[in-house]
Structure 1
Amino acid sequence: MNTQYFPIVRAKAGEMEALKRLDASTIARCTPISEVTKLDGTDLERARKRSSTPYEDYLDKRAQSIAAVFKGKHVILDTSQWPVGFATEGGEQVLSYVCSALSELGVIVCPVIGYDRWESIEYQETIKSMVLPEKAFFCIRLDSIAIEDFGDLDHLDEIIEDMVASAGLNETSTPVLVDIGDVTRLPVQEVMEIVETAYGHMKGLGFDYIVMSASSIPDSIEKAVKERDSTGLVQRKEMIVWKGFMSANPNASLYFGDYGIRNPRASDIIATNMNVKIRYTISNAFFIARGHSVQGEDGYAQSQKLSRVIVNSVHYRKPEFSWGDLKIMECSLGGITGSSTNWISFDTNHHIKSVAAEIFEFTTQLAAVSARV
């Protein structure tokens, strides 16, 4: 059964804390796709004041935070947010630099090969020169450019074939991530058509291990819940599509992935007037409790009121369900308030636990139905 979950998570403090707090059985059912975000803006300015090698210091810290959770385990590593030709102070490409750092720290690191980057000769040479540790593998990521190229299959096949030959890939053991990205404006049927097309074609090319990923959560809370100090539901289209596809094709090797509780385009910059909110994952949807600007009444302390909304709703599981649920209960009782980074941790921890359980329950039911037919 394809019970493994592939959450795309940023290698940031909030997400790493959420992963660290997961129970052993949940973490065993997760293969994270860890995105090392680019160092820029005010963070880069501060880093330059502290060190003559700000990029390498930053990447070392990201590797250490990943290794603190996943030493001895598989992690799929993606650095697509960095410019394709970017090099560290020592002249090394970001992908190979972080892979080397993680390997030295005992992580079984599996680099992502980006379809959208393959036209760069420098990028190709980086991939060709990488020697993977034992049990590691490459992962091909098909993003929006590749999805468009499904309309020109000869061109797509030429690029995929070149990837396979250049990197020495084995199609049967190389996962393909079909990353649809932000689907907030796409109807479920269109997302389903993308998945069906991509899955069918990649299987035809000999790939056995297909992962779909998308995100239905908007890039701003105002688009999710229009009214301040209110609640709303956001449909998780990616989960609905995956369940629909698997129900129609119970023997398919399509695995599920998503972007957690963040939109793929969401900024890491914390706005001074951000709205306090809790994004609580439920079956096929997000239940969102939205407050108002932190500059308004109660500031971050709004989280205590919003936590009571979650706890008193029909959707709340129980404090024992996850560390995130425990922190929501503590906040509802006035024990904590939490920063924006804390709430990314709490919400992400509950989300991953919830989705891993949802996948396991669905595939178990599907297997039972298939066995009776």
Structure 2
Amino acid sequence: MTVPEYVPIMKAKKGEFDALNPIRLEQLEYKIQPVFHPLFEMPNVYEEGASRLADVTKRCEKIASLWNGNIALVDGYFWKPSEALLENGEHFLTYTYNKLFALGVKVVPVIGYDRWFDQGSNLYNQTMRGINYPNAPYFCIRLDGDAMYDIDEPDFFKEHIESIIFDLKLVETNCSILLDFGDVSVNRITIEQMLAKSTNFLEILSDYNFKYIAISGASYPSSVAEAIDDHDTDGPVLRKEMVVWQTLRKMFPNVKLTFGDHGARHPAPEKEIRNKHTNGKIIYTTDLNYYVVRGHPFSRDGGSHAHRKQLAERLINSTNYEGADFSWGDQKIFECAHGIKDFIGNPTQWVAIDTSHHIRYVLEEVKSFEIAYQR
């Protein structure tokens, strides 16, 4: 099986689902599935009194409609232990994995390092010990949070990794590692700190024979105000995770090192409440950066129609725009700027647009880097 070139951590929500519409992915110049293994983060969002089971079922069915027959990592990082059991008594992860397998998705179960060693994680441990999926393409151990501290004591960290492998009877060659830095936006962590931590991890992990090791982070901040200071201005936000991955590929040429990120979004779950003072924005992936086109509060001019059009016009008139044929998202930006089909788009549609362009750009970026590096 091909080692993936790109493992994006994607929210299992409508915006990302729309970006992964198979018809839209067909615009790529090569078959995407073998080199693109998305990690779907199952959200724990539902209205009070609503059925969690129904929500999880609906999301599983949507994933299957998009990714049937293909490989997808699936995790539930944001689910609290107290909410992990669905109305039918099953743990949501067991139900999710079983449902997706039944629907034809090649599921990669994800084991959370932090959750495994959490003192209150008995239910999580029991659930993960109980999974038995001989047809799973592989398994994944996700390192974040506490792992970032544990690596400062290499022997302690190594003992923990080996205990997960032993307890779950994992085979190294059938197990990947996801080193997820999470939020690495402005003032969170520097590139130098990310490289130092990553180097410590890789010096230990490279002694094993893991299927691959993915390095992931999220440079886009929680609000556009943190990215661009002033209303109605544009500017770059450095994608630290890409800089770190490219640097590490050169430092560790013999390690199967895969690129990962959180798409064109902040990793934290969004608030469901829409604020009338929300700023319009387009997050457009470019070489090592996000080019962010910031607008102003929608309340200022009484709506979003003219505002969205102005943002799209500013982008397509910049030197960063790749053209309408680059991706489905780029086509929609063109339509918005020129008033074609009266397309404006709501916030969810713009997540899909940003994500569509991002996926295409990153796959090309990684491919180009590998070709240049191997010369």
Match of 1:230 in 2: 233
Instruction: Give the partner amino acid of 2:181.
Output: I
Q: Per-residue deviation at 1:205? A: 3.9
Q: Deviations over 1:235-275 (max 9, x none)?
A: 00110111111133333311100000111125142432211
Equivalent residue of 1:363, what SS? helix
Match of 1:161 in 2: 162
Q: Indicate the larger mover: 64-73 or 156-165.
A: 156-165
Residues 282, 270 of structure 1: alpha-carbon distance in 2 compared, 3 angstrom cutoff: farther
Q: Per-residue deviation at 1:175? A: 0.4
Q: Per-residue deviation at 1:72? A: 0.4
Contact 2:39 2:75 in 1 (8 A): yes
Match of 1:327 in 2: 332
Instruction: Give the partner amino acid of 1:108.
Output: K
Instruction: Give the partner amino acid of 1:160.
Output: I
Equivalent residue of 1:332, what SS? helix
Contact 2:239 2:290 in 1 (8 A): yes
Q: Deviations over 1:114-172 (max 9, x none)?
A: 01111322212111211215242221000021111001233322322221112111112
Query: Which structure 2 residues correspond to residues 59-98 of structure 1 after superposition, within 5 A?
Result: 59-85=56-82, 86-98=84-96
How many Å separate the matches in 2 of 1:340 and 1:317? 22
Whether 1:311 aligns to 2:316 is yes
Contact 2:33 2:70 in 1 (8 A): no
Instruction: Give the partner amino acid of 2:230.
Output: E
Contact 1:108 1:133 in 2 (8 A): no
Match of 1:347 in 2: 354
Query: Which structure 2 residues correspond to residues 24-43 of structure 1 after superposition, within 5 A?
Result: 25-39=31-45, 43=46
Q: Per-residue deviation at 1:26? A: 3.2
Match of 1:113 in 2: 111
Using the size of structure 1 for normalisation, the TM-score is 0.92
Q: Deviations over 1:178-229 (max 9, x none)?
A: 0111111221111111111112211224435111000111111000011011
How many Å separate the matches in 1 of 2:226 and 2:291? 14
How many Å separate the matches in 2 of 1:136 and 1:3? 12
Contact 1:110 1:132 in 2 (8 A): no
Match of 1:173 in 2: 174
Q: Deviations over 1:80-137 (max 9, x none)?
A: 1001352001111111111011011100111110011113222121112112152422
Contact 2:33 2:71 in 1 (8 A): no
Contact 2:3 2:35 in 1 (8 A): no
Instruction: Give the partner amino acid of 1:328.
Output: I
Residues 252, 77 of structure 1: alpha-carbon distance in 2 compared, 3 angstrom cutoff: same
Instruction: Give the partner amino acid of 2:357.
Output: H
Match of 2:201 in 1: 198
Query: Which structure 2 residues correspond to residues 128-139 of structure 1 after superposition, within 5 A?
Result: 128-139=129-140
Alignment gaps of 5+ in structure 1: 369-373
Residues 108, 241 of structure 1: alpha-carbon distance in 2 compared, 3 angstrom cutoff: same
Q: Indicate the larger mover: 353-362 or 113-122.
A: 113-122
Contact 1:103 1:133 in 2 (8 A): no
Whether 1:11 aligns to 2:18 is no
How many Å separate the matches in 1 of 2:224 and 2:39? 24
Q: Per-residue deviation at 1:28? A: 3.7
Equivalent residue of 1:306, what SS? helix
Q: Deviations over 1:62-82 (max 9, x none)?
A: 101111111000100010100
- Specify which of 271, 274, 293 is matched with residue 274 of structure 2: 271
How many Å separate the matches in 1 of 2:25 and 2:81? 33
How many Å separate the matches in 2 of 1:174 and 1:95? 18
Instruction: Give the partner amino acid of 2:369.
Output: F
Instruction: Give the partner amino acid of 1:153.
Output: P
Q: Deviations over 1:6-65 (max 9, x none)?
A: 0100000000110112226234421001100112xxx422xx2xx5xx100000011011
Query: Which structure 2 residues correspond to residues 275-286 of structure 1 after superposition, within 5 A?
Result: 275-286=279-290
Alignment gaps of 5+ in structure 2: none
Whether 1:102 aligns to 2:103 is no
Instruction: Give the partner amino acid of 1:159.
Output: H
Using the size of structure 2 for normalisation, the TM-score is 0.92
Contact 1:188 1:241 in 2 (8 A): yes
Residues 268, 352 of structure 1: alpha-carbon distance in 2 compared, 3 angstrom cutoff: farther
Whether 1:289 aligns to 2:286 is no
How many Å separate the matches in 2 of 1:306 and 1:91? 48
